[in-house]
Structure 1
Amino acid sequence: MEAIYIDKHYNLVVECKQGSKKACYELYRLYSKAMLNVAFRIVGNIAEAEDVLQEAFLHAFNKVHDFRQETTFGLWLKQIVVSRCINALRKRKLEFADMDDEGLENIADEMPADEEETLYKVAVVKEAIKELPEGYRVVLSLYLLEGYDHEEIGQILNITENTSRTQFLRAKRKLSEILKRKGVTS
């Protein structure tokens, strides 16, 4: 038996399937900001993220009849956005290196007590992530920010699970180096 998820926007999806432009606009309004954030974290460029967002919504609205409530509309849309982001990155001829991960260290998960200091560190980390090479940034974003596991990332990016893990560990190491250079320590 197939699982069906009913989310709070079920009626809007039904109306959209029936051709309601108002319902489509409302879905766009409800999801566009979150999906733009997803796209931006992956492609790292706001103009390109906006293009990806528009392509993803066009695709979603053209394929809305294929949406079967096997998940929520938001998760279905997020999969489309991530897929479009990966396509955009592939157009850039993104290459992933399959390397061993010996000697890679983890970033400490320590939280500063002072809220202002925390906000400062968050801003610095966001800027540091932008400095990562694309392959590292993509895997790091998909794993930490979007919640995909390495097997899923491997399938999305057409790389091995081990390559995903290696890219993630190297991204953490590189991010740690960038943060140390900027004077942010854990």
Structure 2
Amino acid sequence: METEIRFTHRSLVERSKTGDRTSQYQLYELYVDAMYNVSRRFLGIKEDAEDIVQDSFVDAFKNLDRFKYESSFGAWLKRIVINKSINHLKVKRLPLTSMDEHEYHLTDEVEIEKVDAIDILKVKSGIEKLPLGYKQIINLYLLEGYDHNEISDVLGITTSTSKSQYHRAKKKLVEIINGL
């Protein structure tokens, strides 16, 4: 009878630290799809997301000695993927729009209509139509679960800027969804 050996994530990480390729491959298989989805949400281009994910795993495996279990391995890896995705956008010199000066700037007088049971496809479509700066904030806060302090660190902005940009992005997203 064939016995299947299952390792905990911690033991996979520990074995990977020693250079065990089988454990590294198992970690890769556990996380590659989720990390691809994270990068794809930021970059929008399949091939770029694939490259970023591969680079992220290479960097993660090279730097496993720095992983100290202060978070889960997945959270640590996700931070690497997000940082690489954002840096990729900067390198490509895609314009990051100032929220205060963008054509979609909304004033506080705009009423947000209550939206009940929105079709998930409408939400995804709405997020895709957001300007890049809004999309980054929405992705980090709503989809990746970062708080405003973490977002400020990742994007190099103040916490209050993160909060105000999220507020505006959310208003714009509701406006887009209601128009669909």
Q: Which segment drifts farther, 92-101 or 64-73?
A: 92-101
**How many Å separate the matches in 1 of 2:128 and 2:99?**
22
* Contact kept? 1:106, 1:169, Cα under 8 Å: no
What's the CA shift for 1:156? 0.6
2:40, 2:49 within 8 Å by CA — same for their partners in 1?
Answer: yes
Contact 1:42 1:85 (C-alpha < 8 Å) held by counterparts: yes
Q: Indicate the residue corresponding to 2:63 in structure 1.
A: 63
Cα distance between partner residues in 1 of 2:141 and 2:46: 20
Residue of structure 1 equivalent to 2:78: 78
Q: What's 1:180 paired with?
A: 178
What is the match of residue 30 of structure 1? Answer: 30
Match of 2:109 among 94, 103, 106: 103
Distance 1:163 1:12, change over 3 A: same
* Preserved contact between residue 39 and residue 81 of structure 2 (Cα < 8 Å): yes
SS in 2 for 1:95: coil
Residue in 2 that maps onto 1:129: 127
RMSD: 2.1
Distance 1:107 1:164 in 2: 23
1:11-50 deviation line (CA, Å, top 9, x unaligned)? 1111111111111111000001111111112222222211
Q: Which has the larger displacement, 47-56 or 131-140?
A: 47-56
Displacement of 1:107 in angstroms is 5.8
Query: Deviations 1:135-179 (Å, cap 9, x if unpaired)?
Result: 110100100011111121111100122221222122222222222
Q: Does 1:8 align with 2:32?
A: no
Moved more, 50-59 or 36-45: 36-45
Cα displacement (A) at 1:181: 2.1
How many residue pairs get aligned? The number is 168
Question: Is the Cα contact below 8 Å between 1:136 and 1:168 reproduced in 2?
Answer: yes
Q: Distance in 2 between matches of 1:12 and 1:40?
A: 26
Tell me the TM-score normalized by structure 1.
Answer: 0.81
Residue ranges of structure 2 left out of the alignment (5+ in a row):
1-6
Percent of counterpart pairs with the same letter? 40
Return the structure number with greater relative CO, CA threshold 8 A, min gap 6.
Answer: 1
Shift of 1:104: 4.8
Unmatched segments (≥5 aa) in structure 1: 1-6, 112-117
Other-structure match for 1:142: 140
Check whether the contact 1:104–1:170 (CA below 8 A) recurs between aligned residues: no
Q: In structure 2, do the counterparts of structure 1 residues 12 and 145 end up closer, same or farther at CA, with 3 Å as the change threshold? A: same
Kept in 2, the 8 Å contact 1:83–1:156? The answer is: yes
